[in-house]
Amino acid sequence: MKDHRIIKRVLLALAFTFFLVSYLFTAAASQSNQREISSKTSKAPHFIAYYFYTSKRCSSCYRLENWSKKAIRDHFQQAMQEDKLEWKAIKVDNPGNKHFINDFDLYTKSLVVVEKIGNKTVRWKNLEKVWQLLRDKDRYFDYVTSEIQKFMENS
């Protein structure tokens, strides 16, 4: 009989420990999520570099996306690690993304840099010269990085 009671107590202690650890883990994860949400809704500006594209794409469209992504990731690595700048490629012909066409006056594949404070878009700029520079990688990279740098500094 004593052995059964000991086993019951051990099992209860293990179950209690399991639930306690689970609760503490969930609470810690929740606090982390709250910190992330509050940092996104703070007054500090957050920048997004969007590449907008459609289902129909040519080699120039792919080059525009690839060069833009590389220029941004190479030049703004620290800003991206600090979540000050993020890169997003958005397919605008998906139903949930069509609003971007009106939001940013899009008429073709585009690279647009956006400043947000919280969830509100404060300002944006379409880097329209990217199409003119698709034959010169160095000038393309210089243009993209300098325009984004100026945009971020002017917030």
pLDDT in tens, 53-79: 999 999 999 999 999 999 999 999 999
Position 20 scores a pLDDT of: 46
Q: What angle do helix axes 137-153 and 59-75 make, rounded to 10 degrees?
A: 50
Average pLDDT, rounded, for the chain: 86
pLDDT in tens, 20-40: 445 555 555 555 555 455 444
**Claim: this prediction has a pTM higher than 0.75:** no
pLDDT in tens, 131-150: 999 999 999 999 999 999 99
DSSP states of 45-92: EEEEEEEEE-S---HHHHHHHHHHHHHHHHHSHHHHHTTSEEEEEEET
Structure tokens given for 27: 């609470």
Q: What confidence category does residue 43 fall into, taking pLDDT thresholds of 50, 70 and 90?
A: confident
Pairwise CA distance, residues 146 & 129, whole Å: 12
